[in-house]
Amino acid sequence: MSVNVLYSTKATSTGGRDGKSRIEGGREIELSTPRELGGNGGEGANPEQLFAAGYSACFLGALKAVAPGMKLRVPQDTEVTATVGIGPRSEGGFGITAALAISLPGLARGDAEKLVEAAHQTCPYSNATRNNVDVELTII
């Protein structure tokens, strides 16, 4: 697979799940481990939250990118909620799950289904997780 990279960025993390990540531009993100994973559940974000934020924003961007070619308009109040889970895999190690709940108010159900499927084929997060992470798509 070949990618024509148009933008790249980087982040540097220290301290692991209870440390910090510094993203390009100098902003720092405090990290903390959820209680469910043995952490203190502190104020910081965790990698799963950051993944959920990235996936939901990216998927909404994909909806907006594919809609004009389908002669559709993404409603202004569209929302994408990503739920990301983490836990032990039966094969060993840990794995993640992802579920996207997509709200497209006022769009006909058939159009919404076609739009969501096209976005799922376009979204970089969907392409990165395909055949590796089960992603559930629900139109609400």
Say what the pLDDT of residue 1 is: 74
- Domain residue ranges in the chain: 1-45, 47-139
Residue pLDDT, tens place only, 85-107: 999 999 999 999 999 999 999 99
CATH entry 3.40.50.620 includes domain 47-139:
no
Q: Is the pLDDT of residue 68 over 90?
A: yes
For the segment 32-38, the average pLDDT, to the nearest whole number, is 94
Say what the pLDDT of residue 37 is: 93
Q: In whole numbers, what is the pLDDT of the chain averaged over residues? A: 96
Same fold, 1-45 and 47-139: no
Percent pLDDT > 90 in the chain is: 98
Q: Which CATH architecture has domain 1-45?
A: Single Sheet (2.20)
The string over 114-134, giving b where at least 16 C-beta atoms fall within 10 Å of a residue's C-beta and e elsewhere, is ebbebbbebbebbeebeeeee
